[in-house]
Structure 1
């Protein structure tokens, strides 16, 4: 199903680990961009459901597009959400590209595990060596649990930084 929120779980974990060196918004945008082609196929009934967009070559091209467009969309989104009222937060280009590439490559990997029509190494190979690597139920659990662990870790790190900062200012 296009636009599955389960793809965001690993992204939340990466955000917790990389903190400001990763944009969860650009990562999320890359997830949406990846599934536009399958959505068009589902609506029109024509084409290969997980076609070129779900190959690593397609992922490279979509990561570049996602980074270039996602930088501005994310900065606007932060402003609209009130998290960047003075437009002070600027997402660096390297963070945008890193986030977009992690987003598109992880998307191809996750979909390769569960969808038989994904050909991740096309045109070099039509084989999908990741198919069935783990069960779909286990894959969903990995995505869900990585998001939960990532969320808890993210806020624990934020709390620890504030606690240490307060302790240093008190000393």
Structure 2
């Protein structure tokens, strides 16, 4: 199912550890961009569900697109909700967050879905599929979301006291 929030779990841990060097909003945007191609396949019943977008090459191209569009969308959204402390998003941060988003998306989906071919067109096959069970992968993503969320709240409350 496209647009699952599970990919955001590990991102919360990254945000708690590298606050200014990582944009959670650009990362989140890259997750949405990654799943547009599978959504189109589901809606049209045409093409490979986890096709070109779920390859390293596809993730690289979508990472570039997500960084460029995500920086501006994120800055606009953060301005609207008045979270000025996260602005501006540096280009280096946008690219890092976007590529971490697209590459981790391929890796997580490759573990979960047999039809993901991360190294296509160089070679077929998915060496990551079944690395851990789907249940374990989901638990890891949920646990990292909880831990990362707690660490982000703790960091933010500590910085407000200072």
Q: TM-score, normalised by structure 2?
A: 0.96
Unaligned runs of 5+ in 1: 166-171
Equivalent positions of 1:129-168 (< 5 A) are 129-163=127-161, 165=162
| TM superposition shift of 1:88 | 8.4
Cα distance in 2, alignment partners of residues 88 and 160 from structure 1: 17
Which has the higher mean CA deviation after the structures are superposed, 125-134 or 74-83? 74-83
Counting only pairs closer than 5 Å after superposition, residues 63-78 of structure 1 correspond to structure 2 as 63-78=63-78
Deviation, 1:159, is 2.6
Q: What is the root-mean-square deviation in Å for CA atoms of aligned residues? A: 1.4
Quick check: 1:89 aligned with 2:87? Answer: yes
Bigger CA radius of gyration? 1
In 1, Cα distance between the equivalents of 2:50 and 2:143?
Answer: 25
Q: Structure 1, residues 27-68: CA drift from partner, whole Å, max 9, x if none?
A: 000000000000000000000000000001100000000000
Identify if the C-alpha distance between structure 1 residues 133 and 88 changes in structure 2 by more than 3 Å, giving closer, same or farther: closer
How far off its partner does 1:151 sit?
0.6
For 1:20, the equivalent position in structure 2 comes to 20
**Distance in 2 (alpha carbons) for counterparts of 1:68 and 1:100:** 9
Residue matched to 2:61:
61
Contact residue 20 and residue 86 of structure 2 kept, 8 A: no
Partner of 2:51: 51
Counterparts of 2:21 and 2:87 in 1: how far apart (Å)?
13
Three-state SS of the structure 2 residue aligned to 1:20 is coil
